[in-house]
């Protein structure tokens, strides 16, 4: 088992007066990628502070502690916890893979990582059987996971195989350096046919499983859309996701009055199609959203990757019948 890393830091006159957590974040964002502090997030550093892994002049300190010149800080970075997941063989649609990362076309209905009610049969279980070498930064339940797709959303998803790739991919997502294109089928005809939703998203006040963009509060969230096809009371939209909030597309289109077809969480608008579309829609058991394309700079190699997952048969059938 690998040993924890211990880093010693001395507070200079320029950093004097900073909060402890602010100082640590400034270090993590300025050191080279060979430094153990490289890429550690504010939330992770705050967990280390709360857990007593960070000492100021030999004593535990709060995140809000104001630093003084020549304060000595020791940061203990625990070794990654060993995975306790059992690999499970499953068929995976691999769009790209090398020693640094793997991009998969996730089918609808497959949960990305273990959680409440999903202890087995997740994409992580299948990936561990496929490649065995996923980044440990995500923790025991989320090894290699950089971003997620909802269970019923199909399409492209990138997973890191080692920690440096993980850190750089997370940075790229955070800095909006990754192009994320989605296909969706909504009820109704959004106007104008090309536009954007620019409204912050936060968790719903009374239903903790849902999110909303109607309060004017929350995190900035931007979704661009373009109409590709209209017919039978439905519209095929292409989405360019400029931010990455939970349920972002689903919330934006629903709050605008054009919910995704089949979205049982956010789809309140009634829709009564005629045959044969009624039978086709009746056989689809998920919301009509597909992550078609991921385009990004490879985190290690100096190449541009563009990974695209074709529309799955269930959504193609709906589009054909529209």
Main-chain dihedrals φ then ψ at residue 227, nearest 5 degrees: -75, 130
Q: How far is CA 312 from CA 66, 76, 79, 228, in A?
A: 54, 47, 40, 17
- Domain 179-321 carries which CATH code? 3.30.2350.10
* pLDDT confidence of residue 208: 67
Domain boundaries, the chain: 5-77, 94-168, 179-321
**Do 5-77 and 179-321 have matching folds?**
no
**pTM metric for this prediction:** 0.77
* 5-77 fold: 3.10.290
Considering the domain 94-168, what is its CATH architecture?
Answer: 2-Layer Sandwich (3.30)
C-alpha 255/C-alpha 218 separation (Å) is 15
CA within 13 Å, CB half, 110: 22
Catalytic residues: 150
* pLDDT confidence of residue 1: 45
* pLDDT confidence of residue 137: 67
Main-chain dihedrals φ then ψ at residue 261, nearest 5 degrees: -60, 130
Q: Tens digit of pLDDT per residue, the chain (322 long)?
A: 457 788 999 998 888 999 999 999 988 887 766 677 877 878 889 989 999 999 999 999 999 999 999 999 999 988 765 556 788 899 999 999 999 999 999 999 999 987 766 778 899 999 999 987 787 766 666 788 899 999 999 999 999 998 889 889 988 998 899 999 999 999 999 999 999 999 999 888 777 678 999 988 888 999 999 999 999 999 999 999 999 898 999 999 999 999 999 999 998 788 888 899 999 999 999 999 999 999 999 999 989 999 999 999 999 999 999 9
| CB neighbour list of residue 317: distance below 8 Å, 6 or more residues apart | 280, 284
């Amino acid at each position: 088992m690998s040993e924890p890393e211990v880093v010693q830091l001395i507070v200079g006159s320029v950093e004097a007066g900073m909060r402890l957590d602010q100082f640590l974040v400034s270090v993590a964002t300025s050191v080279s990628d060979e430094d153990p502090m490289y890429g550690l997030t504010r939330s992770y550093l705050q967990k280390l502070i709360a857990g007593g892994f960070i000492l100021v002049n030999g004593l535990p300190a709060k995140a809000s502690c104001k630093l003084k010149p020549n304060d000595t800080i020791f940061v203990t970075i625990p070794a990654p916890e060993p995975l306790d997941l059992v690999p499970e063989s499953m068929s995976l649609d691999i769009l790209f893979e090398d020693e640094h990362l793997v991009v998969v076309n996730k089918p609808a209905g497959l949960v990305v990582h273990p959680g409440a009610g999903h202890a087995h049969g997740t994409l992580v279980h299948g990936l561990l059987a496929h490649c065995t070498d996923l980044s440990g930064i995500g923790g025991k339940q989320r090894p290699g996971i950089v971003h997620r797709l909802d269970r019923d959303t199909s399409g492209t998803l990138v997973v890191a195989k080692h920690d440096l790739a993980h850190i750089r991919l997370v940075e790229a997502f955070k800095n909006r350096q990754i192009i994320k294109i989605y296909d969706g089928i909504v009820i109704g005809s959004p106007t104008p046919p090309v536009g954007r939703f620019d409204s912050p998203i936060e968790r719903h006040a009374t239903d903790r499983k849902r999110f909303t963009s109607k309060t004017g509060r929350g995190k900035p969230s931007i979704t661009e859309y373009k109409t590709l096809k209209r017919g039978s009371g439905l519209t095929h939209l292409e989405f360019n996701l400029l931010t990455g909030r939970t349920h972002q597309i689903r919330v934006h289109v629903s709050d605008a009055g054009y919910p995704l077809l089949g979205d049982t969480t956010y789809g309140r608008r009634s829709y009564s199609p005629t045959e044969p579309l009624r039978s086709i829609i009746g056989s689809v058991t998920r919301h009509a959203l597909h992550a078609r394309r991921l385009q990004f700079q490879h985190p290690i190699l100096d190449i541009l990757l563009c990974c695209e997952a074709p529309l799955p048969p269930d959504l193609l059938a709906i589009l054909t019948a529209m």
